[in-house]
Structures are given as C-alpha cells and as structure tokens.
A and B are shown apart, each in its own frame.
Chain A
Amino acid sequence: MANISYKARQARRVIIERTFGLAILALMSFWLIANLFKAPSQFAEVALIGLSNGILYALIALGYTLVYGIIELINFAHGDLFMLGGLFSAHFISLWFHQTKSSPMGWLVFFLALISVMAFCAGVNVFIERFAYRRLRRAPKLAPLITAVGVSFMIQFVGLRWNGSGQKTWNSVLPSGRVLLGSIKLPYTTLISFAVTIPILAALTFIVTKTRQGKAMRATAQDQDASRLMGINVNRTIAFTFGLGGALAGVAGLLFQQTRGLTSYNLGYQLGLIAFTSAVLGGIGNLQGAVLGAILIGLIQGLNDGLPIGLGQQWSQTVVFSILILLMVFKPAGLLGKQVTEKV
C-alpha cells in the first residue's frame, strides 16, 4: 500500500517536472522564433558571436569536466588559470616578442605563444594539484572544495600583481578583417578560433579514447583502487589530467586575449563560472557534453545580449545562472550525462 502511494507520488513528481521543463523549452523556442522573424540577419550575426564565445567556453569547460570526471572536485581555480593564460600570452606576444600588429612574424609568435601558454598553464595546474589537492584526497569533500576556492583567490592575487587592478587592452596579432558569407560578415578572428580549437579538441579526443594514458585516465575515473591494483600510477594519471585541463585553459586564455584584446584579473572568475555552467549543462564528466553545453550557453548568452527581444547585456550573468539553477532542479545529470545512483 505504502509502496504504491510512494510510486504514485514519484510518478506525479516526474510529470510535474517534465511539464515545467517542457514549458521552459517551449518559451525559449518561442523567444528564438520571435527574434528570428523580427531581425533575421542580425540573428545570424549574433548567433555567430555566440558560437565563437561558445568554443572558448568549451575549452575552459573541458578542464572542469576532465578534473571532475577523475577526482569529483569542482576546481574553482580553473577559471583563474584561464585568466593567467591570457595574461601570459599578452606578455609573451606584446612585451617579450614586441608583436603588436598582424604580420607573418606576428603569426609565428602567435603559434609559439600557443605552445608556451599550453605548457605554462599545464605546469601551473600540475603544481597546484601536487601541492594543494593531492594531500586532500582522503579528506572530507568540503576540504578540497574550500582549498580550490582559496587557490582561486591566490591566483587572482597573482593576476592583480601582474596586470594591475584595472582592465588592460592589447593589440592583436591576428588579422582584423571580415570575410563575407552571403550577407553575413564573419570576422577572421572567429575563423582562427575555430581553426585552433577544432584540432585541439580532436587531439584531446584522441588522447582520451585511443592512447594508453587515456585508458589509464578512464580507469582511474571509474575506480581508483582497482586501477592501482592493475598497475596504473594513479597520482601520475591525475596529474596528467590536471595538465591536460590546464593546457586547454591556456589555449582559451590566448584566444580570448587575442580576439578581445583585453586582460583583467577578475576575468577568470566570471568566465570560469559560465564555463562550469556549460560543463554542468552538458553533463559533467562527459567530454562531448561539455562542448555541446558550452556552445549552447555561448549561443544563449550571445542571443540574449544582442537580439532586439532580449533582456540585454546587463542581465547576461543572471540568464546564465538561471539556466544553471533551472538545470539543477530539472535535470541535474545534464543533457548528455547519465543519471547514476550514488553507490555507497
């Protein structure tokens, strides 16, 4: 008897949640269609801006997802690592190699910066893992989380010292023109972002799915003790994962700094939150999910900021975090994530 009423209650809750979820989706599609009819060409341009933001978010979101997938830690400091990557590449290109305009030399330096910023951010992330998180593997869950918040503040301090308290603008070495696609103007920088990001994502997929190290990562994510019994060096695998995530954050930092031309010490906090939302939207721990979620968040944010019927830029954060909260309520596992029952 009690069992039946429990099941009925459960079923009713599922129905209520589904209805709400569908209503929200319907409302959003209505908003999109209304905008599409009102300003079609603007829609395409704004969507492109959103898309190019989205792939930046994807690079950061992948770092969150990789780390969460392997040690179930929300690495709050990851966004700040992105900020550090941006600062590093700004200094690398503009101050150390004196490249301030688009030229073949500048592109070469851009390529060098890409490699160095990946190494730099990977190194920093591995360093943080070694000295802060590794000691807390067995600690209660709150401890590494609070440590991550603390590390985030310390990196922000480094950014504050390095960059100063204000926003700094930099010249980009990337070509600034636009290419016409029908009636839509597509900036070169967007194309370059895609050209850099897509091979990196492909390489990441290759590393995770095809190499021995990737196999070790997947095994460690499933069961650390069993992996250790199978002869996997768990500590090294986790460090490698942090390095991988750091390198991706570095690429994102370089691309952001070069396409927007600005750095600021608190940038990482904001973008990190957005990227984390994307990772959760796609289903945290799922690599494809992180990319999908990031592109969706980028699109939604871009559309909200740029379209005639929208809340406008000053509500941008609110929109993103409302998505996060709604998602947590209706589909905590994310779009591509599997609902797993927590084992004891």
Chain B
Amino acid sequence: MAISLKRKNRKPKNAASARQWAITLTIVALGIWAFFTYLFDKTPDAVQAWFQVWLPPSTLNESLVWVICALGLNIVVGYAGLLDLGFVAFWAFGGYAAGWFMSGFFNQVNIHFGSMSAKTIPGIHLSFWLVMIIAALIAGFFGIIIGAPTLRLKSDYLALVTLGFGEIIPQVFTNGENIGGFNLSNGTKGISPVDAIGVFGKRLGPFDLGWKFLIYFFLAACMVFVSLRIRGGRLGRAWLAIREDELAASMMGVPLMRTKLTAYAVGAFSGGIGGAVYATHVNGIFAERFNFSISIILLAMVVLGGMGNVWGVIVGALLMAWINATGLPAIGDTFNNTFHTEINFPSYNFLLFGGILVLMMLYKRDGLLPEARLKMISHENDDEASNTGGH
C-alpha cells in the first residue's frame, strides 16, 4: 500500500506515456504499411534491394506474430511471475486450429462459413476471424486443463511441467497421423495450404503482405490493449501481487489458484491467436517447427524487453524476431563479403539467445525498458551485506 501512496501522482504520467507509445507505434505501423503498399514499387532499385536484404516485408509480418505471442507470455511470466517453458504448445494448438478449420484438411466434410474460398472445395472453411476466436479458445481451454492441476506447485516445478507439456503436444501432432485410425494432424507432412484471409471482399494471397501486415498489426494492438487494460484492473493487480509475494497476496484475500489460472489461460489464449496467425503467415502448419527453441526465444524476448512492461516486450520481440529472421543472415553476409570470411552467422543464434538470457539476468535483470514496479522489487535484496545464502 505504501507503494501506491507514494506513487499516487505517477498514474496520469503512466497513462500519458501509454498513449504516447500507442500513438507512435500506430503511426509507425501505418507509415510502414503505406510505404510498402503504395510507394515501394516507385522507389529506386537500390532502395528496394536494401529493403529486401535488411527489412523484407515478410520479416515485418513475422515479427508481429512474435509480438502477439510474446505479449501472451508476458502476461504469464511478466505479470503473474509464473515461468512457462512450454509456450510452444499453445502456438501449436493455434496453428492446428487454423489447419483444421480453414483448410481442405478434413475433406470428409464440406462446411463453409464466412470464408472466401470456393464452395465446392471440401473441408472446413470458416472465416479467418472466427478461426482466430476458435484457436484462442482451444489454446485457452488446454491452458486451463494443464494449469488446473499444476498451478498449485512451486514455481520451479511449474516450469518443468510446462516444459514437459511443450514436449508432449508437438510430439502428439508429429505422431498424429494415425491416432486410433484417425488422422489428426497429417504427421510430419503438415497441413498446407491454409485458406486465404478474406477482408472487405478481397482474398489475400501470399503476396498481399501489406494487408496482412495491417491485420496482424490490428491483432497485436488488440493484445496490447487487453494487456494494458487487464493490468490496471483488479485481476492485473492481483497478478502483480502474486508475482511480488505470493504469501502476502493470499493473506490479502487474493485467490491464488484462480488468479494464476486466469493468467495462464489468458497467456494461452494469445498463444492460440499467435499460432493461427503464424499459420496464415507461412501458409501451412508443419509439425517440426514447433520445438523448444520457440519457447526459449519467446522467453528471451520477454526478458530482454523487460518483464511486465508491454512496450518493453514489444521492443524486445521486434528486435529478436528481426535478428532471428533477417538480422543474423544479413549481418553475416555483409561481414563475410567485407572481410572475405566464411563464418556461418545464423548458427550463432544459440549463443546469442543463451547469452542474452544470461547477461540480462546477471547485469540488467529488469530488461531494456524496465517496469518501474519490478525494478524496485528485483533489487530489494541487493543492499544486503552478503551476496550468498537464503533464497
């Protein structure tokens, strides 16, 4: 309570800063969209080539997918302080929801609803927006299923269980060609293609990256809005209380299980959306892409940006997604061409992500854009004389 009294006058400033961030990001996004949709073809070839190397539109879209998922993980790790190492499971659920409900995969049936694809193609073809909701609900449902029995465990056990969950689900999908004679996931072959997104009576093909960018941006903006609004409300404050001191929170009447479970479900929910969006981005669902490194990259994004701070997480996610998709290969090519070396830069991503996690934890535990609240908490023990003992 002392904190809130002391910082009473800070609140309007935070709200104003949130508005500034939101407006700036929206303007930047619209600018990028306008540039790539209308101006790109008119620019000189050299500029186009530069963009193809350093900032291709597909990378922009992909990084928005990462932003959506990282914001979801931020709710679990950053807000509620639960370490989730199996986020890829929700990503997979979202992806397969898109595969099931907006492609010709289940060709035994012929269901069309709000989709722009031809009525004669068999399979379940639902509208993109409907699939988003279904994917989120499926992932959220499994989030609750896995969370309900495990969330009463201590935090480090929870990390392990989620890790196990993140291993099981992709394996189920990889082996899912024949589950009791039923083809659930098409195994390693994956499901491809996924229906085009229909918007304003227009079908977005694989090259309509500008429009897809706008749609993905809209979804990411929804996630930002949800994150910020929940954080300010009763539930969000309960999450923060649990993160900071579980015992004190429960003494103050916060129902631990239910509150943690909601955090887990909301995180899973956005993981589902992210997975479905990713499926439309790569136009398919491929079982071997759902591996542990996705969970780790997402965690690194949240840690790098600043756990609990939405804007920090966005910056972290954009930065790491860019490095992963474009930055490392592009820097590597430039470096190799300049110095005539043969260094395989993309193979350094293990070192990079591991190094980011370790160095951030050792030297800048609060991330690039730290959340003011967390900053106080995470250094609360630093002044104590000894640097060992206790926990």
Q: Write the residues of chain A forming the contact surface with B, with a CB cutoff of 8 angstroms.
A: 71-74, 132, 134-147, 149-157, 160, 165, 224-225, 228, 234-235, 269, 273, 276-277, 280, 314-315, 317-318, 321-322, 324-325, 328-329, 332, 342, 344
**In the complex the two chains form, what is the Cα distance from A136 to B353 in whole Å?**
19
**In the complex the two chains form, what is the Cα distance from A275 to B154 in whole Å?**
19
CB of B169, distance to nearest CB on chain A (Å): 9
CB of B263, distance to nearest CB on chain A (Å): 14
Cross-chain contact A157 with B377 (CB below 8 angstroms): no
Cross-chain contact B83 with A138 (CB below 8 angstroms): no
CB of A149, distance to nearest CB on chain B (Å): 6
Q: Which residues of B contact A145 (CB under 8 A)?
A: 83, 156, 159
**In the complex the two chains form, what is the Cα distance from A139 to B374 in whole Å?**
12
A-B contact count (CB 8 A): 153
**In the complex the two chains form, what is the Cα distance from A187 to B271 in whole Å?**
48
Additional 10 contacts, C-beta under 8 A, given A73-B156, A146-B83, A156-B350: A71-B391, A136-B362, A138-B389, A146-B357, A150-B353, A150-B361, A276-B160, A321-B167, A322-B168, A332-B157
CB contact between A138 and one of B146, B154, B384 (< 8 Å): that residue: B384
CB contact between B382 and one of A138, A141, A225, A228 (< 8 Å): that residue: A138
**In the complex the two chains form, what is the Cα distance from A315 to B168 in whole Å?**
9
Chosen A-B contacts, 9 in total, with CB atoms closer than 8 Å, are A138-B381, A139-B361, A139-B381, A142-B155, A144-B361, A147-B357, A150-B355, A318-B168, A325-B165
Cross-chain contact A137 with B389 (CB below 8 angstroms): yes
- Would you call the interface of chain B mostly helix, strand, loop, or mixed? helix
Q: Which of A157, A224, A280 has the most CB of B within 10 A?
A: A157
CB of B117 closer than 8 Å to a CB of A: no
Do A141 and B155 form a contact, CB below 8 Å, given A149-B299, A150-B357? Answer: yes
Q: Which residues of B contact A225 (CB under 8 A)?
A: 389-390
CB contact between B357 and one of A74, A135, A136, A153 (< 8 Å): that residue: A153
CB of B58, distance to nearest CB on chain A (Å): 25
Cross-chain contact B154 with A328 (CB below 8 angstroms): no
Q: Which residues of B contact A228 (CB under 8 A)?
A: 388-389
**In the complex the two chains form, what is the Cα distance from A225 to B391 in whole Å?**
11
Cross-chain contact B390 with A325 (CB below 8 angstroms): no
CB of B217, distance to nearest CB on chain A (Å): 29
Do A315 and B365 form a contact, CB below 8 Å, given A137-B389, A145-B83, A152-B354? Answer: no
**In the complex the two chains form, what is the Cα distance from A324 to B146 in whole Å?**
12
Q: Which of B77, B159, B358 has the most CB of A within 10 A?
A: B358
Q: Write the residues of chain B forming the contact surface with A, with a CB cutoff of 8 angstroms.
A: 77, 81, 83, 85, 146, 149-150, 153-157, 159-161, 163-165, 167-168, 171-172, 174-175, 247, 292, 296, 299-300, 303, 347-348, 350-351, 353-358, 361-362, 365, 377-378, 381-382, 384, 386-391
Q: Which residues of B contact A234 (CB under 8 A)?
A: 388-389
The residue in chain A whose Cβ has the minimal distance to the Cβ of B379 is A139
Which 8 pairs between the two chains have the least Cβ-Cβ distance? A150-B357, A153-B354, A321-B164, A224-B389, A157-B350, A154-B354, A150-B358, A157-B351
Cross-chain contact B171 with A280 (CB below 8 angstroms): no
CB of B344, distance to nearest CB on chain A (Å): 10
**In the complex the two chains form, what is the Cα distance from A277 to B164 in whole Å?**
9
**In the complex the two chains form, what is the Cα distance from A273 to B162 in whole Å?**
12
Q: Which residues of B contact A135 (CB under 8 A)?
A: 362, 387
The residue in chain B whose Cβ has the minimal distance to the Cβ of A228 is B389
**In the complex the two chains form, what is the Cα distance from A276 to B156 in whole Å?**
12
CB of A223, distance to nearest CB on chain B (Å): 9
Q: Which residues of B contact A136 (CB under 8 A)?
A: 361-362
